[in-house]
Amino acid sequence: MKVLLVEDDSMHANYLRELVHDALPEATEVSLATNGRDGEEQARRHAVEAIVMDLRMKERNGIEAARTIWSERPDTRILFWSNYSDEAYLRGIARIVPKEAAYGYVLKTASPSRMHLALRAVLVEAQIMVDREIHHIQRNQSRSGEELTEVELAILSDLALGLPDKTIAIRRKLALRTVQNRLLSIYEKLDVGDLPLNGFDIAINKRVRAVSKAMTSQILNRETILSAEKELGLWWQRTQIKGDR
């Protein structure tokens, strides 16, 4: 079994290599990529079937790299590991993982025994495994209301990009009234309202406030915004091409 480690920190990479050698005697070859783009190229060139992927890297993050790898080899098994337990990451992974792929998500603070379990569960036994510590952290993060739906999350991402209601409706193929109703639902779930100060309510920009609360509660993060920006650019290009026909 060929194993690829995608990690831009040398200390973490060396630690990972030791863990893999201990946990996976089946590994015939263990290679290292220092960023997501290099990881894509090595996975393609060597037909790697098992990958441990960092999520935050300077050149091409783990979710973008995994998207490319899975589009070419959907049965690739990927164990994501990260310092961060953002809901945005979990949702981002869930949106791109193929039905036939096994994946996992574990924190870098996990004990060697937990990492051993995760490596074997995902890369050898083809199981889906999200470390219970991640779920525990997310339950204790300061969030209000119910979980946002995927449509609401898409609209919230468009808000973060500064799109007006009408453009969101066109882009998401929704009625304008539907977008506006979804916005009301988002405000309610994120507990967005006027700010009480000394007995007076200060009127706020609810769109900006919703994005701010989504960022602080890790529903959105830097990577998801950058990804949304790319998707918006591609959508605009397609729209322009259609308009020129």
Question: Quick one: pLDDT at residue 42?
Answer: 96
- Kindly indicate whether the domain formed by 150-244 is annotated with CATH number 1.10.3470: no
List the chain domain ranges.
Answer: 2-140, 150-244
Q: Which of 42, 92, 43 is nearest to 70 (CA)?
A: 43
- Phi, psi at 61, each rounded to 5°: -75, 170
Contact criterion met (CB below 8 Å) for 231 and 237:
no
Long-range contacts of the stretch 103-106 (C-beta < 8 A, 24+): 103/77, 103/78, 103/79, 103/128, 104/78, 104/79, 104/80, 104/128, 104/129, 104/130, 104/131, 105/79, 105/80, 105/81, 105/129, 105/130, 105/131, 105/134, 106/79, 106/80, 106/81, 106/130, 106/131, 106/134
Question: Quick one: pLDDT at residue 142?
Answer: 43
- Phi, psi at 163, each rounded to 5°: -80, 140
Mean pLDDT split into 10-residue runs, the chain, 245 residues: 94 94 94 94 94 90 92 95 80 84 90 93 91 57 62 91 95 93 90 69 83 86 84 88 69
Question: Quick one: pLDDT at residue 175?
Answer: 94
- Looking at the structure, give the CATH architecture of the domain made up of residues 2-140: 3-Layer(aba) Sandwich (3.40)
Say if pTM beats, i.e. exceeds, 0.75: no
Contacting residues for 167 by C-beta, under 8 A, at least 6 apart: 158
Question: Quick one: pLDDT at residue 224?
Answer: 83
Helices (H), 97-175: 112-119, 132-140, 150-160, 165-172
Helix (H, G, I), strand (E, B) or coil at 149: coil
